[in-house]
Structure 1
Amino acid sequence: METEVLGNIERTEQQGNALVITTNEATAKVYVYNEAIIRVNVTKFPGKPDTSFAVIQQPTGALNYSENNDEIIISTKTLKLRINKSPLRFNFYTADDKALSEDDSRFGVNWQNERVVNYRKLYPDEKFIGLGEKTGNLDRRGTHYVNWNTDASRHTIYTDPLYKTFPFFIGLHSTLTYGLFFDNTHKSYFDFGATTDDEMSWFGADGGDMNYYFFGAQGVAKIIEDYTWLTGRMDMPPLWSLGYQQCRYSYMSAEEVLKIASKFRKNNIPADVIYCDIDYMDNYKIFTWNKTAFANPKDMIDQLKEMDFKVVAIVDPGIKVEPGYKQYDEGVEKNYFATYSNGDKYIASVWPGRCYFPDFFNDEVKEWWGASFTALTEPGVEGFWNDMNEPAAWGQNIPLNVKFGDKYIGEVRNVYGMEMTRATYNGTRKILGNKRPFVLTRAAYCGTQRYSAVWTGDNTATDEHMLYGQRLINSLGLVGMSFSGVDIGGYTGNPTPELMIRWNSLGPYIPMYRNHAEIGTAMREPWEWGKQNEKIIKKDIEQRYKLLPYIYSGFYQSTQTGLPLSRTLAIEHTLDENVFNVMYQNQFMFGDSLLIAPVESTKRIADVYLPEGEWYRFAGDKKYKGAKAHKVPAPLDDLPVFVKAGAIIPMQHVVQSTNDAGDGVLELHVWNGKSANEFVYYEDDGATYDHERGIYHKRVITFNPAKKTVSLSVAEGDFTSRFTLLKLILHGFDKVTPVKKAIAYTNDEIVIGY
């Protein structure tokens, strides 16, 4: 095997908005997408179509460059790309010439047969964060990862790869930040100095182009904003999907589903969602119902609706090989399934037995798949859970000569799940009309945030899985996936009561709050842990519902800037070495103002690091100094949660579901601080797309300690708030009445003095 290294420039020309550079080995094209994003594409096949599953933008920046004997310099207001001519190397700098990331001068871009790799200089203090769903520490330095979407059942906290591929990372060094998105769907590799004696980092893929987008904005939050501008942002989720979700593989009958839902209401434990796993189907055939156990799904769902429950049903890609089965017959007739290279249909076994697999890279197949959801929507299902879409098959290794249309699986395995999810989202949105579907997927690629929430797959009932699961959530937030969750309690194994309580106490601060477990494990519902423990679990679920005004506004922020709801502390406190300390790396911000410190179920005292500023314990208002570590109480009924000084947190009183109108009182909780602060409060109907035509309610809430006021701007939008009264509750203020008398909540400017 020979190594072919990108050599000297032979010619250069501008073609439209691209700078085209030719060497003996390949053609490179450079595009300016905006002042902070430059794309580099190095290919051996310059005539092939230029497409992306992830990117939704086109280059809009001006291509301004100069040239001398040694280099070409492309300049924007933010970035400077110095292109070395002999040999061709790409070196990125800030506009004022501070090095951000540079090709290794020896190896640059090179090939070994079809495999393409880029070696880059590794700076002494460089850290790396990102890649989404990857095990290991917050700082990826010294690690190596593979992207190859895998059904990682019973994985450990060291398993790699897992279910998803997000080839986007953020580099940190010399007080600078940069981002890099390697948009290549082949099996890919990232090495952050693990195998090069701390001399180089490198990334590459088994095929395709060296195709990456370089982000030069300063600040992690700004890089996330630019990345999600490029790949898209989530839309507002249905409000009901932000409530408590109860799931199990499986509730075995409609009777059991209704019994579970009824007990939530009887015990006054808030909940919004109940799931139907694979046993609702007729012999695991997609888009069917079990004729005995779920004989009348519409009647079941109608009864659930009367109790204010929504239903989420699972779907897998495998279509059972069974003549007479609607989806099989239609797919065979229209040639909708994957084949071997010779045209024979590919068959692999999954839950239904021998199955065909839809070609989701064919738009006609996506339309067909989406239209098939009427089998679920007509009885009343509004949530759609896409599982087994890595794609999974018993035995795992789908042969590399399997094709989806003209694409071999080696090229598109990593994006198969996203394309299935796209088909599910587009199909159900079309069927439901103006009603928002909830879509959940296990496999994903960059851009999946446009269609779906994600969860982290089959975790295990251990403390280490609880803690590393939160790191996965935080890391998914870095790659645009704000709406994410874990299986609370652990999918496999049986949690101790203490672990169940502790994990559930994290639930209010996880974007998707779902309790799930596999068949054969102990039941996980809140009342299964004894009366005293049920009270604690109920209290934490109630906390989620109290926080929904804050949470929903946080998701609105995600739709506007890409900033996730659950945020590693490295986003806001990038230069603070303590946030990368393994003792504190699990901590995260939930929205703008809450800091959560996950704690093992066996500990009652926690070591917590609070970044600079002043902080308050959420429960009890005890004040703490920032920029230092603290030992704090961590009883099972009070997870360490802290509030930033100056925080504004809108809350409501407990409701039993998001459909519960409540008492109409919006509580504004404000914690004293030295600096002014703002919070963008957002409401809409939580169910439709009317917000896209201006039917929403948005206003800026301002805390001004100098003027001693809390003010609300004039409301924007045509939606009538669900709240009619406003109550201001002050924390940490001396010599003032902590709870102000409720006043009318109107659309006019409101100013409250204290």
Structure 2
Amino acid sequence: MKILKFFLMISLLLSSTEILKAQSIIWTEVEPGIWKGVIGKPEEFDLLKVAGAQPYYAGLQQMPKVTFPLAQDEIIGRVQDGKTYLRFPLERKEQIFGFGLNFQTVFQRGKVLSLHVDNYAGKDNGRTHAPTPFYVSSNGYGVFINSARYINVYAGTAVRRDSKTVPDVQDRNLDKNWNSHPYSDGVEILVPAAGVEIYVFAGPTTLDAIRRYNLLNGGGCLPPRWGLGFTQRMQRLTDAQGVAAEAQAFEEKGYPLDFIGLEPGWQSKSYPCTFEWDKTRFPDPKTLVQDMLKKNIRLNLWTNPYVSPEAPVYKDILPYSGSHTVWNGIVPDISMPEARKIFFGELEKGKIDIGVSGYKMDEVDGGDNYLWPDVAVFPSGHDAEQMRQTYGLMMQRYTSEIYHNRNQRTFGLVRASNGGGASFPYVIYNDYYDHRDFITALVNSGFAGVLWTPEVRSSKTAEEWLRRFQSNVFSPMAMINAWASGTKPWSFSEVAEQVKTMANLRMQMMPYWYSEFAKYHFEGIPPFRAMYLEDGFTNTEARSENKKLNLEENPYEEAATKEVKDQYMAGEYLLVAPMFAGQTSRKVILPKGKWYDFYSGKYAGNGEVINVTPGLDKIPVYVKDGGIIPMMPVMLHAPKAGQKVDIEVKYYGEQPGTYSLYDDDGETYDYEKGNYAFRKITVIKLNGKLKGAITPAPKGKPDNVGKVTFKAMTEL
């Protein structure tokens, strides 16, 4: 018996040693405040290589100097059975955000996720359009796993027996505070590969960690000015006459329009696709495209990548396609140069080269019952899982390169993205249509390095139509997607004027939106982002189950324990709080500091929860003290390259205000060669009067700013 016990003890000790056994991770600072660690043998096919991401060095050099933000000895890695296990420490009061484009939750602590590119199906389980393996902490750091694999995440859910802070053992029989989810002090990640690259991003703030991540990926995208105007996607079987009639109707009714989207019917056949114009509906596409361009309206084409047997390129691309079909169309292996040359050459020929402005790339995300299965094989040797995780990235990269080579900016739509894709000029959309969840996705997009549009498609009532439109105006792409319904901005006549007012507001705010996207590119600051990234907003921590809030004593305490997912920051100065159908009032949590109503300039509050009743015509929008919003006159189309536009600087509050107004030609990539300007706007109150100034355009740089006037929105 003693011998048996001895061997059992040895067995337990060996088992414990195996648990603790870990490979050392050597950390190298690869960019300011960014460290790379390598464990095992990483795969060559990873997210950053697929995306072709190149750091924006100038932006990174402007970031503050920092030290490694975690205890390196507490980051554990191990390669076993062809898989890589990682563990990162997590403090008790720490909250984490990210892990992709989530639609229902902002707090990710306590979640178990499988990061897997897929169409969103109503549950935040990691299967989403952009399952970016990047998370940030309320403690001011970020972690990115550079793997093109389905990654399993245990975000503060599992408890190791060797944890530094083991939770108390509780007796469910007698302890009323027993919890089925004991405290966990780690984020654990399982990568199905025998090695991986890991990146750690320092802050000092959470927003700084996100900025470093975006700048590592080249900086955020800078759309053309026209991309920030208004877009209408046509009913799927629209013809050339219908396009012309739509453009004419917008002009006659006075609604702004910058680009029109053509849905599947532009192709001779779709699902699978031929990638050729339907000669019946579009007998002369070049003339149509050029006629629209003369009206300052661009065309964007829908497609998916699945090649019909009747497509002109079918036989040529067949040897470079996967083993399985989608809707009976072959799947080009676009990780191969041979396939790319044929496939993207077809997207250019007779489309881009006649003036088409961009693409909407559908069904590159998922749906296991129709997309290629994980048993599929591809001639490149990359497996079906890797292709699933990166197909959307590759579609964005190689179409963007076509436009970049032409020195012509594009702005389009895509159904899937992933880590490394922040610089691509694409906005994610989907077929899920919950307005509230759309706003949560907009909140989370800033953590994922992607853009998201809460597009407007249809509504049951005029109220819902207007509410959807109002929030859509304060998003990366202001768009009605009428592919199925043929709806117009004026379809609900009882709110048509309010819709027009909002569409005009979108155009008036173009100098602000364009400047904010410039900061996304040059500084890595997401133009739309969560309240938790705003100075003065209470950081969150995991709420204990038995803690009771006393909102009578401190109404702001709600922000510290409840997810805030229905309001967000839009650019440097704006707080947007959408309204939803059926609501007549709502609560808005204002960060510390004075805030003012966007429409009237009146004082709204300071670090408090306010209840507002805005009426049907508006949604609550607030401006922080000293806020400056540059606006231009109402225009039906975005300004052309070289067109001077007058600017009215709207100033809110009492504190001195500053703003960096961005300017370039709005259409080309010449800004990459330094052909751009940031002009500093300053506003102060002096002796009861408003005094404003703007620095002149640097010599030899773009100067598209006309007359500048200043308006105090808050009473002097």
TM-score (norm 1): 0.80
Q: Are the equivalent residues in 2 in contact too, given 1:132–1:472 (CA < 8 A)?
A: no
Corresponding residue for residue 77 of structure 2: 109
Within 2, Cα distance between the matches of 1:225 and 1:475? 15
After superposition, the Cα gap between the structure-2 partners of 1:289 and 1:117, relative to the gap in structure 1 and judged at 3 Å, is same
Within 2, Cα distance between the matches of 1:336 and 1:362? 8
Deviation at 1:418, TM superposition (A): 0.4
Kindly report which structure 2 residues correspond to 1:55-454, keeping only aligned pairs within 5 A, or say none.
Answer: 56=53, 78-80=66-68, 90-91=72-73, 102-103=74-75, 108-110=76-78, 113-152=81-120, 155-156=121-122, 158=124, 160-172=126-138, 176-194=139-157, 196=159, 197-199=182-184, 200-284=186-270, 285-322=273-310, 325-332=311-318, 335-338=319-322, 346-350=323-327, 354-372=328-346, 373-390=348-365, 395-396=370-371, 398-430=373-405, 433-454=406-427
Corresponding residue for residue 636 of structure 2: 656
Corresponding residue for residue 573 of structure 2: 593
Deviation at 1:636, TM superposition (A): 1.7
1:52 aligned counterpart, secondary structure? helix
Within 2, Cα distance between the matches of 1:500 and 1:459? 16
Q: Are the equivalent residues in 1 in contact too, given 2:140–2:203 (CA < 8 A)?
A: yes
After superposition, the Cα gap between the structure-2 partners of 1:80 and 1:195, relative to the gap in structure 1 and judged at 3 Å, is closer
- Match for 2:534 among 554, 572, 577? 572
Corresponding residue for residue 341 of structure 1: none
After superposition, the Cα gap between the structure-2 partners of 1:230 and 1:292, relative to the gap in structure 1 and judged at 3 Å, is same
Q: Are the equivalent residues in 2 in contact too, given 1:655–1:662 (CA < 8 A)?
A: no
Residues 113-167 of structure 1 deviation map (CA, whole Å, 9 limit, x = unaligned): 3333323333221101112311332211222222111134xx3255651222211
Deviation at 1:82, TM superposition (A): 8.3
Q: Which moved more, 1:660-669 or 1:124-133?
A: 660-669
Corresponding residue for residue 639 of structure 1: 619
Q: Are the equivalent residues in 1 in contact too, given 2:43–2:193 (CA < 8 A)?
A: no
Within 2, Cα distance between the matches of 1:59 and 1:537? 39
Q: Which moved more, 1:158-167 or 1:554-563?
A: 158-167
Corresponding residue for residue 554 of structure 2: none
- AA in 2 matched with 1:167: P
Within 1, Cα distance between the matches of 2:417 and 2:664? 28
Kindly report which structure 2 residues correspond to 1:453-468, keeping only aligned pairs within 5 A, or say none.
Answer: 453-460=426-433, 465-468=434-437
After superposition, the Cα gap between the structure-2 partners of 1:546 and 1:317, relative to the gap in structure 1 and judged at 3 Å, is same
After superposition, the Cα gap between the structure-2 partners of 1:59 and 1:26, relative to the gap in structure 1 and judged at 3 Å, is farther
- Match for 2:39 among 10, 24, 42? 42
Deviation at 1:45, TM superposition (A): 6.9
Within 2, Cα distance between the matches of 1:311 and 1:272? 9
Higher relative contact order (CA 8 A, sep 6+): 2
Q: Are the equivalent residues in 1 in contact too, given 2:301–2:360 (CA < 8 A)?
A: yes
Question: Which runs of no fewer than 5 residues in structure 1 stay unpaired?
Answer: 10-22, 61-75, 84-89, 92-101, 339-345, 735-754
Deviation at 1:440, TM superposition (A): 2.6
Q: Are the equivalent residues in 2 in contact too, given 1:475–1:568 (CA < 8 A)?
A: yes
- Match for 1:497 among 458, 462, 465? 462
Within 1, Cα distance between the matches of 2:379 and 2:463? 47
Within 1, Cα distance between the matches of 2:505 and 2:244? 25
Within 2, Cα distance between the matches of 1:145 and 1:582? 21
After superposition, the Cα gap between the structure-2 partners of 1:55 and 1:26, relative to the gap in structure 1 and judged at 3 Å, is farther
Pick the structure with more helix per residue: 2
Within 2, Cα distance between the matches of 1:721 and 1:413? 44
Within 2, Cα distance between the matches of 1:288 and 1:237? 27
Corresponding residue for residue 667 of structure 1: 648
After superposition, the Cα gap between the structure-2 partners of 1:248 and 1:225, relative to the gap in structure 1 and judged at 3 Å, is same
TM-score (norm 2): 0.84
Q: Are the equivalent residues in 1 in contact too, given 2:568–2:576 (CA < 8 A)?
A: yes
Within 2, Cα distance between the matches of 1:206 and 1:307? 52
After superposition, the Cα gap between the structure-2 partners of 1:275 and 1:514, relative to the gap in structure 1 and judged at 3 Å, is same
Q: Are the equivalent residues in 2 in contact too, given 1:147–1:414 (CA < 8 A)?
A: no
Deviation at 1:518, TM superposition (A): 4.8
Within 2, Cα distance between the matches of 1:719 and 1:44? 48
Within 2, Cα distance between the matches of 1:266 and 1:446? 43
Within 2, Cα distance between the matches of 1:251 and 1:579? 48
Kindly report which structure 2 residues correspond to 1:452-491, keeping only aligned pairs within 5 A, or say none.
Answer: 452-460=425-433, 465-481=434-450, 483-489=451-457
Question: Which runs of no fewer than 5 residues in structure 2 stay unpaired?
Answer: 1-13, 58-63, 160-181, 541-557
2:313 aligned counterpart, secondary structure? helix
Q: Give me the identity figure in percent.
A: 21
- AA in 2 matched with 1:467: R
Residues 331-363 of structure 1 deviation map (CA, whole Å, 9 limit, x = unaligned): 13xx3222xxxxxxx13132xxx2111112123
After superposition, the Cα gap between the structure-2 partners of 1:496 and 1:112, relative to the gap in structure 1 and judged at 3 Å, is farther
1:255 aligned counterpart, secondary structure? helix
Residues 234-266 of structure 1 deviation map (CA, whole Å, 9 limit, x = unaligned): 342111111111114514222222222211111
Pick the structure with more strand per residue: 1
Residues 74-94 of structure 1 deviation map (CA, whole Å, 9 limit, x = unaligned): xx96334888xxxxxx43xxx
- Match for 2:658 among 665, 668, 678? 678
Deviation at 1:50, TM superposition (A): 12
- AA in 1 matched with 2:231: Q
Q: Are the equivalent residues in 2 in contact too, given 1:425–1:439 (CA < 8 A)?
A: no
Q: Are the equivalent residues in 1 in contact too, given 2:289–2:299 (CA < 8 A)?
A: yes
Aligned residues: 650
Within 1, Cα distance between the matches of 2:225 and 2:698? 20
Within 2, Cα distance between the matches of 1:537 and 1:50? 41
Within 1, Cα distance between the matches of 2:409 and 2:560? 38
- AA in 2 matched with 1:150: D
Residues 142-200 of structure 1 deviation map (CA, whole Å, 9 limit, x = unaligned): 22222111134xx325565122221111012xxx3110001111111222224553313
Corresponding residue for residue 86 of structure 1: none
Corresponding residue for residue 14 of structure 1: none
Q: Which moved more, 1:707-716 or 1:186-195?
A: 707-716
Within 2, Cα distance between the matches of 1:484 and 1:109? 34
Within 1, Cα distance between the matches of 2:69 and 2:404? 42
Q: Which moved more, 1:628-637 or 1:29-38?
A: 29-38
Deviation at 1:470, TM superposition (A): 1.7
Superposed CA RMSD: 3.1
1:222 aligned counterpart, secondary structure? helix
- Match for 1:552 among 510, 514, 518? 514
Residues 358-405 of structure 1 deviation map (CA, whole Å, 9 limit, x = unaligned): 112123433333322122124421111122123667533513242250
Residues 206-225 of structure 1 deviation map (CA, whole Å, 9 limit, x = unaligned): 23424311112211221122
Residues 666-703 of structure 1 deviation map (CA, whole Å, 9 limit, x = unaligned): 101111323x3321101222112233334334311122
Q: Are the equivalent residues in 2 in contact too, given 1:456–1:472 (CA < 8 A)?
A: no
Q: Are the equivalent residues in 1 in contact too, given 2:262–2:299 (CA < 8 A)?
A: yes
Corresponding residue for residue 714 of structure 1: 696
Within 2, Cα distance between the matches of 1:134 and 1:418? 18
Q: Are the equivalent residues in 2 in contact too, given 1:220–1:572 (CA < 8 A)?
A: no
